[in-house]
Amino acid sequence: MMKVQPKHLPCIGVCCLNIAAKVVEEECNISSTQELIRISQCKFTVSDLSRMEKIVSEKLKFQFKAITALTFLHLYHALALSYTSEGNERLNLEKLEAQLKACLCRLVFSKAKPSVLALSLFTLEIEALQSLDLFEIAHCVQRHLKIIPQISTLPWYTTLVPLVLVLGMTAIKDLVDDLARHRMDREVNNRKCDVLLNGRFQESKWMDIHVGDIVRLKKNDFIPADILLLSTSEPNSLCYVETAELDGETNLKFKMGTKVTHERLQTEHQLANFDAMIECEEPNNRLDKFTGTMKWRNDRFPIDLDNILLRGCKIRNTETSHGLVIFAGFDTKIMRNGGKTRFKRTKIDELMNYMVYTIFVLLILVAAGMAIGHTFWYEQIGSMAWYLYDGKGGNSSYRGFLSFWGYIIILNTMVPISLYVSVEFIRLGQSKFINWDLQMYYAEKDTPAKARTTTLNEQLGQIEYIFSDKTGTLTQNVMAFKKCTINGCTYGCEVKYFMQQIYKVAPLHFFFLAFSVQPVDFSWNVHAEKTFKFYDHGLVSTIRSGKDPEAREFFKLLSLCHTVMVEQKEDELVYQAASPDEGALVSAARNFGFVFLARSQDTITISEMGVESTYEMLALLDFNSDRKRMSIILRFPNGKIRLYCKGADTVIYERLHPDSVNKENTQSALDVFANETLRTLCLCYKDITEEEFQAWSRKHKEATVTMNNREAALDRVYEEVEKDLFLIGATAIEDKLQDGVPETIAKLAQADIKIWVLTGDKKETAENIGYACRLLTDEMQIHYGEDVNEKLQAKQQNRRNEGPINRLQRKVNEPFFPEEGKNALIITGGWLNEILYEKKKKKRKLRLKLKRRKHGLNVPSSPQDNLPNDEHEKEQRQIDFVDMACECNAVICCRVTPKQKANVVSLIKKYKKAITLSIGDGANDVNMIKTADIGVGISGQEGMQAVMSSDYAFAQFRYLQRLLLVHGRWSYIRMCKFLRFFFFKNFAFTLAHFWYSFFNGFSAQAAYEDWFITLYNVLYSSLPVLLVGLLDQDVNDKLSLRFPKLYLPGQKGLLFNYKNFFTSLFHGIFTSLIIFFIPYGAFLQTMGQDGEAPSDYQSFAVVTATLCIFLTNCFVDPPFLQISLDTSYWTFVNCFAVIGSIALYFGVMFDIHSAGIHVIFTSTFTFTGAASNALRQPYLWLTIILTVGISLLPIIFIKFIAKTIWPSEGDKVQRKRKQYEAEEVPVKRPTPFRRGVSGRRSTYAFSHSRGYADLIASGRSIRKRTTARKVPARIPEVSGAGTI
């Protein structure tokens, strides 16, 4: 049984029930009323509906009341059905529709026959009810009222024809969208995979894979489900996977089958006999956790995440893998991680809905006024004049009631049903323009821009805040070795720096010398990469000559101290690194002659300047985010034991030997590298005696097998050996910015769009990228988390000390930064925890900090200090943080989680009511993208998960400025013009009925011919205004990008608001007055050329209709008419639409006014000869010209005054448009790096997750080395150092 709560229904549902109850109570016995009461108490079923149909059909003999009762009863039922709150059985709308059709069919052949049209109307009604659109439900009620002769003065086709056309076009659009969505789903579902069926592997589709199936995956295959890895073709059932679709990381990760399945499940026969039972956790969205147990052959085996292949990953470097499907379909972790899809609506949508409600209120008020007028008119005039008797009977109040509903019907075209459909078609066209924009097409990857939604285009022109990821969004996520410092000497210069120095020294010979600057020739190294560029010839000469042993030691360390995997493909070495930083450093060593060739469980083989050497690996101390370094202990071929270490400068300098040299020079170089936004690592070494190593090795072995807090035990052992290090130098690699990022950020800043960077990277890296992309400048005062915390605490304490009265008297918006100048905020996720209520600090750590304070140590204040007392204070603190951040010109949040990214976006939406845009390229950006008003996905290095969750997608960040400043601004302007003119033309058209009411006794008679009312919004006035919404533009795309200030009206909502709405309303009222009263005065006591009076109703209707078409559509030069006045960008299509609409109006009008069609359909086409009789009179054409002139002259005058005295930014640009188009925009060249900035910012480059150390040490990852491998002959040394 289904239970429904009527109190949760909209008001219209309760009204439907009350009307049906009233009708039944008047005409039926008391038992039927009790039935209806029982229904209202939420205890009805399908059988109850059938009984009510029977009662109403049998008891009610009057057609009007029968139809009314059934209509409102079924409306209530449909509404209640869609607002189910609890229950085990949900009724089906198809059953309800079948019940309605059956009921109506019975009524059609009963004595109380309604119109046969009711059957089709009820069918269409169900479609509207399924979407629960209040606007459609209201029109549904109006349609039912129209089939009641006592109320409606218009024939049925005036609504049915537009309704069918509108619903037909909507159905076609939805069909196209559904087909595209189905095509994408079908593409994924029809992917092929080998499944074990009947003892052998057979090709099957993804859609046919079920839990418990055994599948075979090959190299480069996508994983179709969450699968337990059983065995692979690799040693120890190792499997490499790419997880870009899951976590956005492009580096490979390894998975491994259990030992028992690796040994026993290699052949098809063994896999076919596999009969284990898997017990595991329920489906969830935890990508970092899996817990399960495999029961097989009377034994139990643990299963964890290392044994699971997750859907969305891709098999790499593994020829064949076998697995058992654990979760499939929507139970997979990637599907569970999709997050809640939020329904996004634009501000214009919300405003438009409120305006529709306003129009409904105006409609009811006007209809009520007309009903009161008809009541008084009938009492004083209508009932007294025998010649006005219409045979309907009834008193004046009853007739006034009927007149009210008649005006509801006749004036409903103020908001026609075509409005929302027209808006959808305009948005569809605007989306296509984005898809077709070749300037947003990225040729390198054959990636066009893609509008993945058609409902948010105009919102792109109102963006106030942009939240951007860093890696892969602002940067390319491609690392390049740029500079280094070795033994106190810095090497490596950019070619731009060379150009600047040449120009300073010899400006006259600049072009000749600049042409001579060439990159280093690495042809002497057969393993060198062709794409590697380095311009400092001195470093290569130093290495090859052997003058500085530290230089060779530097690159030897890079080739040995890492966790990179290597494989050989067609005589080419291919590296697989845990992070792109590490891969860049190993590749750099390779290009300078120290080539990493191979590794085994306990050896590493490299080529040192052409000489192959093998080192024994004694221990590998892997990197993690707490240690910020990694080390390796090697035994050299001569028996010497050495530790190599690389890591962040902040941790390396703490562990250097007091006698280590060049610390100051290296620190100075690090300052320069940091200013150039390069990512740095310090390199050092330490020699260890055999006795020292043996003693340490025993401690290390004990730590590796301890069961309690193993990681902490290992860290303590690592600390013992990683001390007293000797510094060699430091590396500097560049995470390259994408092309055009600084220029794009500058353009968007000029458009008053604030850009926040939300990244998971460390603070120093994020800060330097901020400088590189010009988000941060030297003039900005930067405030860090500590400053923010102090200011928030001070504000909170002041608020507590103030009384309520003083708080009200105090200034409302006191700035956090009263000083002049620009400010920037850089805050970490730890400080955001307090503001976003993510308190993850452990009590143990808090106690430790308190203990340190007792000893007098200077420890920074914790973000947990001075906590708010209650929820109100917490909310106020959030508001304070948002206000502080919004005062800054730039905000960077680093070390933030995906959830924190989404929470930051939510804060701005909640407290600033601003329109936000999020842009990212990885799966860790999905939550942020879905939370923002508009989400943009970058189809870059980190998979397609962000793109699949986004509203718009393209390949490069620089395309964002074109998306917003061109397409977004155009879409906003077009939509605003469309809505303003749409409301105007319908007010002007509909209110002519209002003025006509004063001359027809308020009897709800139409001022126009029925077919004109039917076709006005469908044929006569739809195309020109649609083309304005699709094609209009004030300035071209180049000027839109050149003048970002043109974007400001959209942010402020200046082009469409209630002021514009009421302007359109009064403009429509004025135009309707002109349309009606000037022809009325001209027709009064007029005689035509043939001696006949043309002042009949039909001629008047033809003239007013013609005037309405001319004033809303026509184009004449001079002057411009209404649609022409609002069109800024004229094309052949616009002209054809305006002229074509006029021609279509006259063609259709003369056809439906012809005698031939009247003979066929006598009662439908009654204006026989009206058009030809009226329009052949020159007097009437003069009336049309006079009316058009009087209507347009005030509008032209007002526009002229406004553009002359109060010109907008767009008006100013339009005046000089030709001059601007002829000018060439100068391109400002960025400086290579910033100078004069004090203070070193640590910019260490490392992966923030563990590497492959455990895997390497276990020996499970090692492939068999090829027996024959070519090693180049020893590279000859050179004595000279070539420089330019």
**pLDDT of 874-886, one tens digit each?**
788 888 889 999 9
Whole-number average pLDDT of the chain: 76
Whether residue 310 is predicted with pLDDT greater than 80 in this model: the reply is yes
**pLDDT of 439-449, one tens digit each?**
999 988 888 99
| Cα–Cα distance, 317 to 137 (Å, whole number) | 59
Pair 738, 474: CB distance under 8 Å = yes
Beta partners for 683?
A: 646, 729
Beta partners for 295?
A: 277, 300
Q: What is the β-pairing status of strands 781-783 and 823-828?
A: parallel
CB-hemisphere CA count at 13 Å for 738? 24
Q: How far is CA 866 from the centre of its chain?
A: 37
Amino acid occupying residue 383: S
Pair 865, 792: CB distance under 8 Å = no
Pair 878, 907: CB distance under 8 Å = yes
CA triple 655-657-659, angle to 5 deg? 155
Give the DSSP letter of residue 1244: B
Pair 655, 682: CB distance under 8 Å = no
What's the confidence (pLDDT) of residue 67?
46
Instruction: Return left, alpha or beta for 329; rule: phi > 0 is left, psi -120 to 50 is alpha, else beta.
Output: left
User: Among 58-67, 120-129, 611-620, whose mean pLDDT is lowest?
Assistant: 120-129
- Helix (H) / strand (E) element for 796: namely helix 785-801
Instruction: Return left, alpha or beta for 702; rule: phi > 0 is left, psi -120 to 50 is alpha, else beta.
Output: alpha
What's the confidence (pLDDT) of residue 145?
46
Mean pLDDT, to the nearest integer, of 209-224? 91
| Cα–Cα distance, 479 to 957 (Å, whole number) | 18
**pLDDT of 420-441, one tens digit each?**
888 888 998 999 999 999 999 9
Mean pLDDT, to the nearest integer, of 664-670? 90
- Phi, psi angle pair for 851, to nearest 5°: -65, -40
Task: Retrieve residue 521's tokens.
Answer: 């020739």
- Is 349 a catalytic site residue? no
- Classify the C-alpha dihedral 1266-1270-1276-1282 as positive or negative: negative
Pair 24, 38: CB distance under 8 Å = no
**pLDDT of 994-1028, one tens digit each?**
999 998 888 888 888 888 888 888 888 888 888 88
Model confidence at 1183, pLDDT cuts 50, 70, 90, reads confident
Mean pLDDT, to the nearest integer, of 1085-1094? 61
Of 891, 1026, 1205, 1283, the closest CA to residue 423 belongs to 1026
| Cα–Cα distance, 46 to 99 (Å, whole number) | 9
User: Among 203-217, 396-410, 838-852, 1256-1270, whose mean pLDDT is lowest?
Assistant: 838-852
Which residues in 818-906 belong to E strands, given as ranges? 823-828, 890-894
| Cα–Cα distance, 141 to 71 (Å, whole number) | 8
Pair 470, 455: CB distance under 8 Å = no
Whether residue 126 is predicted with pLDDT greater than 50 in this model: the reply is no
What's the confidence (pLDDT) of residue 94?
45
| Cα–Cα distance, 152 to 688 (Å, whole number) | 102
Largest CA distance in the chain: 130
Report the interhelical angle of 580-591 vs 549-560 (nearest 10°): 140
Pair 755, 775: CB distance under 8 Å = yes
Indicate the SS3 state at residue 1027.
helix
Whether residue 288 is predicted with pLDDT greater than 80 in this model: the reply is no
Residue whose structure tokens are 């391109």: 1227
Amino acid occupying residue 1023: L
| Cα–Cα distance, 292 to 714 (Å, whole number) | 27
Tell me the C-alpha to C-alpha distance, in Å, between residue 1036 and each of 52, 336, 1128, 1217, 1252. Answer: 63, 44, 11, 9, 54
| Cα–Cα distance, 1195 to 1201 (Å, whole number) | 10
Q: How far is CA 147 from the centre of its chain?
A: 45
Mean pLDDT, to the nearest integer, of 248-256? 71
| Cα–Cα distance, 1255 to 563 (Å, whole number) | 9
Residue whose structure tokens are 């980190």: 942
Q: Which residues contact 960 (CB under 8 A, 6 or more apart)?
A: 466, 744, 748, 919, 936, 954
- Helix (H) / strand (E) element for 729: namely strand 726-737
Indicate the SS3 state at residue 685.
strand
Residues in the chain: 1284
- Cα first-last separation, the chain: 89
Give the DSSP letter of residue 1265: P
Pair 1079, 1104: CB distance under 8 Å = yes
Q: Which of 221, 469, 925, 951 is catalytic?
A: 469
Tell me the C-alpha to C-alpha distance, in Å, between residue 231 and each of 218, 255, 261, 965. Answer: 12, 10, 6, 54
- pLDDT above 90 covers a percentage of the chain that reads 22
Q: Which residues contact 852 (CB under 8 A, 6 or more apart)?
A: 859
What's the confidence (pLDDT) of residue 225?
92
- pLDDT above 70 covers a percentage of the chain that reads 72
Task: Retrieve residue 1138's tokens.
Answer: 């305006």
Model confidence at 29, pLDDT cuts 50, 70, 90, reads very low
Indicate the SS3 state at residue 582.
helix
What's the confidence (pLDDT) of residue 1094?
64
DSSP readout, 1154-1187?
A: SHHHHHHSTTT---TTHHHHHHT-HHHHHHHHHH
Task: Retrieve residue 76's tokens.
Answer: 């209530």
What's the confidence (pLDDT) of residue 1256?
63
| Cα–Cα distance, 640 to 689 (Å, whole number) | 8
DSSP readout, 1084-1153?
A: TT---TTS----SHHHHHHHHHHHHHHHHH---SSS--HHHHT--S--HHHHHHHHHHHHHHHHHHHHHT
Task: Retrieve residue 1252's tokens.
Answer: 């492959």
Q: Between the ranges 360-369, 848-857, 1005-1014, 1183-1192, where is the mean pLDDT highest?
A: 360-369
**pLDDT of 158-215, one tens digit each?**
666 766 777 777 777 777 777 777 787 788 888 889 999 888 899 999 888 999 899 9
- Phi, psi angle pair for 532, to nearest 5°: -80, 130
Amino acid occupying residue 57: S
| Cα–Cα distance, 157 to 41 (Å, whole number) | 39
User: Among 409-418, 514-523, 1115-1124, whose mean pLDDT is lowest?
Assistant: 1115-1124
With 0.75 as the threshold, say if the pTM is over it.
no
Of 883, 895, 880, the closest CA to residue 826 belongs to 895
Q: What is the β-pairing status of strands 890-894 and 823-828?
A: parallel
What's the confidence (pLDDT) of residue 586?
93
| Cα–Cα distance, 1000 to 403 (Å, whole number) | 12
Q: Between the ranges 125-129, 236-240, 1103-1107, 1240-1244, where is the mean pLDDT highest?
A: 1103-1107
Mean pLDDT, to the nearest integer, of 1136-1148? 86
Indicate the SS3 state at residue 688.
strand
Q: Taking the CB of residue 256, how many other CB atoms lie within 10 A of it?
A: 19
